[in-house]
Chain A
Amino acid sequence: NAGVMQNPRHLVRRRGQEARLRCSPMKGHSHVYWYRQLPEEGLKFMVYLQKENIIDESGMPKERFSAEFPKEGPSILRIQQVVRGDSAAYFCASSPLRGQSNTQYFGPGTRLTVL
């Protein structure tokens, strides 16, 4: 009964490179959320997706960041042309179908370091 899976757990990129973070929700969950945790800070909402749909991306930076949740496969958070300020822990969470509990269960996170 696997929980939310995220990979890689640690990712190092040089400035200007692209970062791709993957998230597989818990079995039976169709809602995926991405949050960012900057050093010494709380978590900040970035985007909420369902299969093939972005529902709420109001927390996403306007440039360089994108997210998808295809019909098949994991959700992807993509950061293009990374800068040092993108260094953070990125957490994915999932929750069940609408009409059920809204508890979000989190993955272990991906720690992104930009050199």
Chain B
Amino acid sequence: AQKVTQAQTEISVVEKEDVTLDCVYETRDTTYYLFWYKQPPSGELVFLIRRNSFDEQNEISGRYSWNFQKSTSSFNFTITASQVVDSAVYFCALSEEETSGSRLTFGEGTQLTVNP
């Protein structure tokens, strides 16, 4: 069975600090997909990134970067120079099928608070 663990329940930083959100997953499949979603205080879920199990290259998008380490089953998310607008709950999720049709298994989420 698949499982996603986000050990950090809450993180509080001061604006402009860098912050890393941890995500560890478990799966028996060799083909799987990892995702990060953001849930701001308004409540909607915003897709951030999708990564497949065969692509271990790190990804950078503006102030966001993701570090996929297959050896440690981790898919960590770093926000550089954090801003107040980054305050949200961040969810890591896992899917075991390549094409549409597989449930997402979510971690419990990390509440990030960025203070001015």
Q: Which A positions have Cβ atoms within 8 angstroms of B? A: 31, 33, 35, 41-45, 48, 55-56, 59, 89, 91, 93, 95-109, 111
Contact = CB atoms under 8 A, between A and B. Distances in A.
Interface stretch (B54-62, B64-72, B73-81, B105-113): B105-113
B100 interface: yes
Interface string B33-63: 1010100000111110010000000000000
B43 A102 contact: no
Interface of B: 33, 35, 37, 43-47, 50, 91, 95, 97-109
B10 to A, nearest CB: 11
A35 B44 CA distance: 13
Contacts of B108: 41-42
Nearest 5 Cβ contacts at the A-B interface? A106-B45, A45-B103, A95-B100, A42-B106, A42-B108
B37 A102 contact: no
Given A43-B91, A102-B99, 14 more contacts: A31-B101, A41-B108, A45-B103, A48-B103, A56-B103, A59-B103, A93-B45, A95-B100, A98-B101, A101-B100, A102-B97, A104-B104, A105-B47, A106-B37
A102 B103 CA distance: 10
Given A102-B98, A103-B35, A108 B43 contact: yes
B47 A106 contact: yes
Contacts of A103: 35, 47, 50
B44 A44 contact: no
